[in-house]
């Protein structure tokens, strides 16, 4: 059975040293968020993840959720763990004191989300979906709605969901049919069917607040005719007291490849009472508040499965004896050498390590920009951070989940045949990871957003802004380790600019170029972004070694992993460059009738 140990040394290194979060918090006026406090919060979160959530990961997968008469029962121990989570105040950590929160930065909460998700992704999804609902209410709800719903979501008494897609429309939300009929009292009657609703029905909290997309009777066709509504599982009085069951029922649970411990529900809305949130017919715009939060959350999933796979395959590789090293016996007192001595096993382990630790820095960097976007008092700083956030979010979601899934597979491969057996937990990690590339828009959808909206529509401005960030680092970086990575990174930035200009020019002549190149361009960009983060990490590790500070072995491992990344993973950009620039002709030449089997 696999288990999870929070990698506190790496978390605190990425948080305090690479991202310099204590200084970041001080600049935003978070006087209480000192390093002593944030370190203590992270360490306590690690204990909860290790002691309460990790032991339920495999049992939750085996037991799954059950549906009886519209009521879902979660796996044994899930509700008890959620009760502890609420009692300890974790849901309220990064929310406004005005509505019952503790007022700490949102980026600090992201660290907890990573640890909970790595320990038990199925469980973490129940409270995780609530954060998007909370942010939507903060951004678009009325004060009355915040007092009634937001306060109880923050306390953890209630959880939230987002209800977007329907059986016939998938990602094309302009086709949705759920109706919202106005009532004399200002409420609406919501009727329709929603599918793939994560945590859509469960027994862990006393109420669930669904954030639902629906159409008003006079709404225009397409995405411009969608509105957003609050639909509680149980109706709620103005005093917050839970009333009778609303007209929303779980019709079925999806039988899924993975994340069996989380209830993925098909919800039937039958004249359910709902309340408009935000302006009429601007629901999709409002929902993007929720979706962007969820995209960052899904990016964390890529990191989580890479980390979990790495930890367990590393333990196995140190213990498993098989064959002898080609350069001579490494464990002569044993019948064979541990498999960690073999180069191919090290390739798999180092790939997982580079992805998990590089992805962690990516997530923390993104969360830092999110803080600045919403909390900075300087308008120029907030705008700069928002450009970075919008530019990087689709890359983080798609790139990290793709390489996170690759890493989960490598973790399973390290076990050989044993990895295919349920008891070790490695095949569960692969199954649980697979959905991440589909959540909140598939890799292809994220790539179209990245190229179409974040690159072409703003004529490469966001690309230039991130490029300036990297160039500033290249100018200011110091130390021998920085020198080692500065030139390779500079060359990659020049090449990225060249490829980007070629893509933009080709897309102006042939719109099919966007769809043909988008996924490859996103992945290409992801490898370069991670190279920048590894260069930052290596510089700091090198400075620590030169100064004789801290754990020398830890910092040396950072340099070794950065070198591996630059030598073995970053070169993947060469083939991606070729496929990006090859154009759409070979994709579009074949006539539809010739697609045969």
pLDDT score recorded for residue 401: 98
| Contact criterion met (CB below 8 Å) for 264 and 200 | yes
Angle, CA 393 vertex, CA 387 and CA 395 arms, to 5°: 115
pLDDT of residue 170: 63
Contacts with 352 (C-beta within 8 Å, 6 or more apart), sequence order:
306, 309, 310, 313, 407, 410, 411
Q: What is residue 266's three-state secondary structure? A: strand
The Cα–Cα gap between 76 and 328 comes to 49
Give average pLDDT by consecutive 10-residue segment, the chain, 597 residues: 94 98 97 96 98 98 96 97 97 95 96 98 95 90 96 97 83 78 97 95 97 92 89 94 95 97 97 96 79 82 98 97 91 93 98 98 96 95 95 96 98 97 97 94 94 92 96 90 93 98 95 96 98 97 95 98 98 98 94 93
pTM for the complete prediction?
A: 0.96
Query: How many CB atoms lie under 10 A from the CB of residue 509?
Result: 9
207-214 and 158-163 beta bridge pairing? parallel
589 is written with which tokens? Answer: 């030449």
**For residue 549, what are its two tokens?**
């500070």
The upper half-sphere exposure of residue 488, i.e. CA atoms within 13 Å in the direction of its Cβ, equals 21
Q: Which residues are catalytic?
A: 440
Look at residue 180 and give its three-state secondary structure.
Answer: strand
- Please give the full DSSP string across 212-228, using - where no structure is assigned: EEEB-TTPPSGGGG-EE
Contact of 463 with 522, CB cutoff 8 Å: no
Give how far Cα 339 sits from Cα of 30, 345, 418, Å.
48, 7, 14
> At residue 265, what are phi and psi to the nearest 5 degrees?
-105, 150
CA-nearest of 270, 168, 268, 288 to 226 is: 288
The pLDDT assigned to 519 comes to: 98
Backbone φ and ψ of 240, nearest 5°: 85, 0
The 10 Å Cβ neighbour count of residue 87 is 9
Quick check: helix, strand or coil at residue 19? coil
User: Dihedral of CA 508/524/19/494: which sign?
Assistant: negative
Label residue 378 exposed, middle or buried (CB < 10 Å: 0-12, 13-18, 19+).
exposed
Nearest to 134 by CA among 109, 167, 102, 159: 159
Q: Which of 111, 138, 117 is nearest to 368 (CA)?
A: 111
Which residue from 146, 154, 94 is spatially nearest to 127, judged by alpha carbons? 154
Distance CA 553, CA 9 (A): 12
């Amino acid at each position: 059975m696999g288990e999870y140990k929070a990698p506190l040394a790496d978390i605190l290194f990425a948080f305090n040293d690479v991202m310099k979060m204590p200084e970041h918090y001080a600049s935003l006026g978070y006087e209480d968020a000192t390093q002593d406090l944030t370190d203590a919060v992270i360490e306590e979160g690690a204990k909860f993840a290790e002691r309460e959530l990790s032991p339920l990961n495999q049992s939750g997968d085996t037991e799954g959720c059950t549906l009886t008469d519209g009521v879902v029962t979660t796996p044994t121990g899930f509700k008890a763990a959620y009760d502890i989570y609420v009692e300890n105040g974790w849901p309220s950590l990064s929310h406004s004191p005005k509505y019952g929160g503790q007022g700490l930065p949102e980026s600090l909460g992201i660290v907890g989300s990573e640890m909970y998700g790595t320990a038990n992704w199925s469980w973490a999804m129940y409270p995780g979906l609530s954060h998007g609902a909370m942010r939507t209410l903060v951004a678009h709800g009325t004060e009355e709605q915040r007092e009634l719903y937001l306060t109880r979501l923050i306390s953890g008494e209630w959880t939230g969901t987002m209800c977007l897609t329907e059986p016939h429309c998938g990602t094309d939300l302009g086709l949705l049919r759920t109706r919202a009929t106005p009532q004399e009292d200002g409420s609406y009657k919501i009727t329709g069917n929603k599918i793939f609703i994560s945590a859509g029905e469960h027994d862990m909290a006393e109420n669930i607040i669904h954030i639902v997309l629906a159409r008003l009777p006079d709404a225009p066709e397409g995405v411009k005719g969608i509105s957003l509504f609050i639909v509680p599982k149980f109706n709620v009085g103005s005093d917050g007291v839970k009333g009778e069951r609303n007209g929303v029922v779980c019709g079925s649970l999806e039988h899924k490849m993975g994340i069996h411990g989380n209830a993925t529900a098909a919800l039937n809305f039958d004249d359910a009472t709902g309340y408009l949130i935000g302006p009429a017919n601007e629901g999709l715009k409002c929902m993007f508040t929720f979706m962007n939060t969820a995209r960052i959350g899904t990016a964390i999933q890529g990191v989580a499965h890479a980390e979990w796979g790495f930890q367990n395959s590393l333990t196995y590789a140190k213990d498993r004896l098989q064959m002898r090293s080609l350069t001579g016996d490494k464990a002569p007192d044993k019948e064979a050498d541990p498999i960690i001595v073999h180069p191919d096993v090290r390739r798999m382990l180092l790939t997982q390590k580079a992805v998990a630790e590089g992805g962690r820095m990516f997530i923390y960097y993104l969360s830092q920009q999110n803080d600045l976007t919403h909390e900075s008092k300087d308008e120029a700083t907030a705008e700069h951070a928002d450009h970075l956030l919008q530019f990087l979010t689709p890359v983080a979601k798609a790139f990290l989940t793709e390489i996170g899934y690759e890493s989960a597979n490598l973790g399973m491969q390290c076990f050989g045949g044993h990895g295919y057996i349920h008891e070790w937990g490695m095949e569960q990690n692969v199954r649980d990871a697979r959905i991440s590339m589909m959540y909140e828009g598939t890799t292809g959808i994220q790539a179209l957003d990245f190229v179409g909206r974040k690159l072409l529509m703003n004529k490469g401005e966001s690309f230039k802004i991130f490029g300036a960030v990297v160039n500033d680092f290249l100018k200011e970086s110091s130390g021998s380790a920085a020198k080692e990575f500065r030139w390779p990174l500079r060359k990659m930035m020049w090449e990225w600019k060249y490829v980007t200009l070629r893509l933009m020019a080709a897309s102006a002549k042939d719109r099919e170029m966007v769809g043909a190149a988008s996924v490859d361009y996103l992945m290409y960009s992801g490898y370069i972004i991670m190279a920048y983060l590894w260069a930052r990490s290596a510089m700091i590790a090198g400075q620590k070694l030169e100064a004789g500070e801290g754990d020398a072995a830890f910092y040396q491992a950072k340099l070794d992993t950065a070198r591996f990344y630059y030598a073995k993973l970053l070169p993947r950009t060469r083939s991606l460059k070729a496929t990006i620039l090859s154009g759409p002709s070979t994709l579009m030449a074949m006539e539809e009738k010739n697609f045969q089997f």
